[in-house]
Amino acid sequence: MARRSKPAHSNHERWLVSYADFITLLFAFFVMMYAHSQTDKAQAARISEAFREAMAEGRITHALTRLLKNPPPSSPRASEIAAPPVGKGYELLPSLRQLQETLKKEIDAGRLEVRMEKRGLVISLREATFFPSGGDVFEPTSLPILEVIANEIRGQPHPIRLEGHTDSIPIHNPRFRSNWDLSAARGIAMLELFETRFNIPRKRMAIAGFAETAPVASNDTPEGRARNRRVDIVVLNEEGAQDQPAQP
């Protein structure tokens, strides 16, 4: 008597291939919709190029395959899945995390802030910790903090912009005629310190004085004015560096 052949085992995971293709097409659709909605043609071209490179290198398919093979045990928190700001320069994220960890005590005490913006990595130094009121000479106690910052950004290729800011109260003393003079002088003091003490090349740095024109808090309260008196060390990513003068 002939033996009955066993039926072939059905593959219940074939739907994953179709699902992955669907997700890829859906992603492409939204990219196209976003690109067509922008008036900035250069930005649209960069988005299109990034998507084409991802498709060519198989990064999207690889990511989907890894996700399907190793699904997360639970839904992540919003802070864990938040995307970095738009623009190239994701290589600055490790520096952000390193500075947040190394300078946690100073950040928690309100002496400085470290954050990622669309233009790049911003390290915001409060006046009360780094400068005397109305002056542009560094407080000696602030030098160890500045050394940590300089060591982190020294080996990077990105340009650095040193931005001085003040509150809205006008200054007029024998050294500074206005808040513009004070904000620019503090940026220059930062440049001189980074070059002479921490060996950061001068050609990587630029100075900007904003006086009281770019506040981060209200000038109606002492607390707000204290936040506005600051120097921002901005490590520019590729998008942020587009506003810089072209190098010869």
Give residue-wise pLDDT tens across range 134-143. 999 999 999 9
Q: What domain range is 124 assigned to?
A: 90-243
Q: Does the pLDDT of residue 63 top 70, yes or no?
A: no
The answer to whether 168 and 215 have CB atoms below 8 angstroms apart is yes
The fraction of the chain above a pLDDT of 70, given in percent, is 64
1 belongs to a structural domain: no
Residue 49 CB contacts under 8 Å (≥ 6 apart), including other chains: none
Looking at the structure, do residues 94 and 75 belong to the same domain, yes or no? Answer: no
Looking at the structure, do residues 102 and 139 belong to the same domain, yes or no? Answer: yes
Looking at the structure, do residues 73 and 121 belong to the same domain, yes or no? Answer: no
**Confidence (pLDDT) at 155:** 87
**Confidence (pLDDT) at 75:** 42
**Confidence (pLDDT) at 73:** 47
Looking at the structure, do residues 219 and 104 belong to the same domain, yes or no? Answer: yes
Q: Where are the alpha helices (DSSP H) in the chain?
A: 15-37, 41-57, 59-69, 78-81, 93-102, 104-108, 127-130, 143-153, 179-196, 222-228
Q: For the chain, how many structural domains are there in total?
A: 2
Q: Does the pLDDT of residue 45 top 80, yes or no?
A: no
Domain boundary (80, 98, 122) is at 80
How sure is the predictor about 214, in pLDDT bands with cuts at 50, 70 and 90? very high
**Confidence (pLDDT) at 241:** 77
- Rounded to the nearest integer, the mean pLDDT of the chain is 79
Helix then strand then coil, in percent of the chain rounded to 5, is 50, 10, 40
How sure is the predictor about 28, in pLDDT bands with cuts at 50, 70 and 90? low
